[in-house]
Amino acid sequence: MDNVRKIPQHVAIIMDGNGRWAKKRGLPRTMGHAQGARVVEQILEDADHMGIRYLTVYAFSTENWTRPDSEVKALMNLLRTYMKTSLAKCAKNNVRIRVIGDKSRLDEDLQASIAHLEHETRTNTGISFQIAINYGSRDEMVRGIRKIAAKAAAGQISPEQIDEEMFSDSLDTAGLPDPDLLIRTCGEERISNFLMWQIAYSELYFTPVAWPDFNKAELEKAVDAYNSRERRFGGLVN
Ligand code: IPE
Ligand code: IPE
Ligand code: MG
């Protein structure tokens, strides 16, 4: 390996451990989420400075609705605040925002501020920041298949024309490169329904550090680990 650090083009993060972080400090779980939200903003800047071009974070899963109402509400309020307050910063840092997941189940005011932020940042050419909200990979794939099936039923395409590219284009992540590196914090080593199609060949990195304690040094460690891997895509080693 040469001395130049390869920077992954697209990094995806399962931000886990907010609740445990808070519990350890005798704080309510929602305080962990509030700290976690501050960390995301910092990591977005750090990722940008490191030269990462796409950052995708898992903020709320399709399964997270089963949490207590008060916690769901607190999480939605953090997202609400983010959508309402981050435009100036995105403009300054040239960040493009996209929300992936089924937005139709979110409150209308939240949907409206997401649409506004996506629209206002759509021509920004800096880092592309995807936030997964009410996101589940299975749900995303089913929604994609429905779109394709509707076209087939309308006679616009034939089943034989359906290929990997068409399927990828039917997903919320259409147009984005697949993640090179997937990070999950706080010790769990599972995917929890995140980007299952897109991470087919991503390198996986797990760290015991809880999300509210994650920082630039930890991100650099993950990128170093990525650099120590020999990436393969099923072919011969060259
Ligand atoms: C991650 O932290 C944030 C969300 C899933 C919304 P958790 O809330 O899952 O924290 P733990 O895993 O319970 O510690
Ligand atoms: C995954 O974390 C979802 C997000 C980070 C938003 P969870 O904490 O919800 O996942 P499980 O329940 O540990 O698999
Ligand atoms: Mg968790």
Report how far residue 139's alpha carbon sits from residue 128's, in angstroms, rounded to the nearest whole number. Answer: 23
Residues with CB under 6 A from ligand 2: 14-16, 58-61, 64, 188, 190, 192
Determine the distance separating the centroid of ligand 3 and the alpha carbon of 65, expressed in angstroms: 13
Distance between CA atoms of 85 and 1, rounded to whole angstroms? 42
Q: Please indicate, yes or no, if residue 67 is contained in any of the structural domains.
A: yes
Q: Is residue 170 part of a domain?
A: no
pTM: 0.97
Does 46 fall in a domain? Answer: yes
Distance 200 CA to ligand 3 centre (A): 23
The answer to whether residue 198 sits within a structural domain is: yes
Answer yes or no: is 172 within a domain.
no
Residues around ligand 3, an ion, CB closer than 5 A: 16
Please give the structure tokens belonging to residue 41.
Answer: 């903003």
Task: Say if residues 180 and 229 touch (Cβ distance below 8 Å).
Answer: no
- Give the chain's mean pLDDT: 97
Kindly indicate the confidence band of residue 4, based on its pLDDT and cuts at 50, 70 and 90. confident
Which residue puts its alpha carbon closest to atom 1 of ligand 1? 16
Q: What percent of the chain is modeled with pLDDT above 90?
A: 96
* Inside any domain, residue 152: no
| Percentage of the chain lying above the pLDDT 70 cut | 98
d(CA 202, CA 53): 16
pLDDT tens-digit map of 127-151: 999 999 999 999 999 999 999 999 9
pLDDT surpasses 90 at 5? no
172 part of the active site: no
CATH number, domain with residue 183: 3.40.1180.10
Domain that residue 184 falls in? 10-136+179-228
Tell me, yes or no, whether 65 lies in a domain: yes
How many domains, in total, are found in the chain?
1
Q: Which residues in the chain belong to E strands, given as ranges?
A: 10-14, 54-61, 96-100, 128-135, 181-184, 203-206
Residue 15 in any domain: the answer is yes
